[in-house]
Amino acid sequence: PFSNLSVIPLDPHYALKELFNADHDPKKVILGSGVYRDDNSKPWVLPSVKKAEELVDQAQDSARYEYLPITGYAPFYNAARDLLFGPFDEKAVHVVSLHTISGTGANHLGARFLSDALRPSSVWLSDPSWVNHANIWGLVGVTVKLYPYWNREKRVLDFEKMIEKLETEAATGDVIVLHACAHNPTGVDPTKEQWKRIAEVCEKRALFPFFDCAYQGFATGDLDEDAWAVRHFVERGTLEIAVAQSFSKNMGLYGERVGAFHLVTASPDSAAKAKGHLTRLQRGQISQPPTRGSKLATTILTNPRLFQEWLADLREMSSRIKNMRKALYEELLSLGTPGTWDHIVSQIGMFSYTGLSPEQVATVQTDNHVYILKSGRISVAGLNTKNVKHVAEGIDAAVRK
């Protein structure tokens, strides 16, 4: 029966990685996946995480391999919730939280739950969005529609078109996926005023906002600032929302799969009912999430000294990325590369949508061994003081070709 299956192309990130691995040129550079690298292109275990490892290991007892509850490790998802929402009035705001298999698991659990509970006619994703959003929502059987987000010519947020589309075409009860900060792939976020207008449209059209928060602390280096949009939607007191939260990037815990799903409901009764359904779904999907990564994250979030050290680690990562944006921009300016490149420094977070065409991306790859996704998105964390000139020269040559 499987011979009739259609052929599914390899995910673009993994396809790029395979090509990169097969290239033996010493100058090769990959700017694909959103993973942090230090100035030597090496993965970086955060010093705060190393200390958390020691504390977790010291505290290990014979129960360390026991199952967690279905909803996960409560000290973790409560601390994760507080990091995201900040202090809130528990009498007015009712939050259900579950510990998930990182941000992807939270997106999937949320998509499945919202698809069952709201029966939306469509889910609205930004054009473009993280590639897995359309995949996840397709897997749960909800029609995916796109709202304008990126203005290709001006290389800015297409805000008025976004609002117009949602106001005229989104149906009551539709889900709208929003990136809480550091939009992937464009690196362009709405301003606070624009977030307020998005919230108004959600109220007016009864759209259900589902935030994806994969970069808290990465956008500005300030955890509260990066959670502003989520907190604003909650503070309005008029909206129920969901949030998928990941600690892959901000703690560098990628493979540990540490994340949470949060649902803010209008009443304790809704929260209790939603919790039952979410727990049942989680039971069917994974039974219970893994332990160790969540203990590392909890140690950092609940130990005041380690928390301060983590803030310093976050600042180190976000400022290295900012410096690399500046370095790439300055190299392009000094080469006199045709076009405007201001967006490279004005965009935030891990990514820059360079505006390179698929043909230019292919040229940089063949001529300079620099591997970039076809969309022209680069992971700025892949740049360092040793390779930025080489990358800029490759871009320069491709643009002039």
Q: How far apart are CA 393 and CA 335, in angstroms?
A: 8
214: contact with ligand PMP by CB under 6 A = yes
Residue span binding ligand PMP (CB under 6 A) among the ranges 55-63, 96-104, 267-275, 393-401: 96-104
| Total chain residues near ligand PMP (CB under 6 A) | 13
Which one of 158, 174, 189, 212 is in contact with ligand PMP (CB under 6 A)?
A: 212
Closer to ligand PMP at the Cβ: 262 or 369? 262
Determine the straight-line distance between the first and last CA of the chain, rounded to whole angstroms: 49
Using CB under 6 A as the binding rule, the residues of this chain from 287 to 306 that contact ligand PMP are none
CB of 261 to ligand PMP, least distance (A): 11
Q: How far apart are CA 234 and CA 287, in angstroms?
A: 30
376: contact with ligand PMP by CB under 6 A = no
Which one of 34, 120, 187, 190 is in contact with ligand PMP (CB under 6 A)?
A: 34
187: contact with ligand PMP by CB under 6 A = no
Closer to ligand PMP at the Cβ: 130 or 233? 130
CB of 132 to ligand PMP, least distance (A): 7
Where does residue 33 rank: exposed (0-12), middle (13-18), buried (19+ CB within 10 A)? middle
CB of 108 to ligand PMP, least distance (A): 9
Where does residue 216 rank: exposed (0-12), middle (13-18), buried (19+ CB within 10 A)? buried
Phi first, then psi: give them for residue 288, nearest 5 degrees.
-160, 150
Which one of 73, 77, 130, 208 is in contact with ligand PMP (CB under 6 A)?
A: 130
102: contact with ligand PMP by CB under 6 A = yes
Q: How far apart are CA 96 and CA 277, in angstroms?
A: 11
Which one of 248, 291, 347, 375 is in contact with ligand PMP (CB under 6 A)?
A: 248
Inter-residue contact 178 to 214 (CB < 8 Å): no
184: contact with ligand PMP by CB under 6 A = yes
Ranked by CB distance to ligand PMP, the top (closest) residue is 103
CB of 338 to ligand PMP, least distance (A): 31
Alpha-carbon distances, residue 270 vs 94, 100, 209, 371, 393 (angstroms): 9, 21, 17, 48, 57
Closer to ligand PMP at the Cβ: 34 or 110? 34
Task: Provide the 3-class DSSP secondary structure of residue 382.
Answer: helix
Where in the sequence numbering do the catalytic residues fall? 130, 212, 249
Q: How far apart are CA 113 and CA 123, in angstroms?
A: 13
Which one of 246, 250, 291, 387 is in contact with ligand PMP (CB under 6 A)?
A: 246
Closer to ligand PMP at the Cβ: 252 or 394? 252
Q: How far apart are CA 285 and CA 269, in angstroms?
A: 25
CB of 36 to ligand PMP, least distance (A): 12
Taking Cα atoms as reference points, which of 175, 150, 260, 266 lies closest to residue 216? Answer: 260
State the maximum Cα–Cα separation within the chain, in Å, rounded to a whole number.
64
Q: What are the structure tokens assigned to 148, written together?
A: 């304008």
The DSSP call for residue 260 is E
Report which residue type is found at 314.
L
The DSSP call for residue 4 is G
Closer to ligand PMP at the Cβ: 102 or 299? 102
394: contact with ligand PMP by CB under 6 A = no
Using CB under 6 A as the binding rule, the residues of this chain from 309 to 328 that contact ligand PMP are none
Residue span binding ligand PMP (CB under 6 A) among the ranges 115-123, 246-254, 272-280, 320-328: 246-254
What does the binding site for ligand PMP look like in residue numbers (CB under 6 A)?
34, 102-104, 130, 179, 184, 212, 214, 246, 248, 254, 259
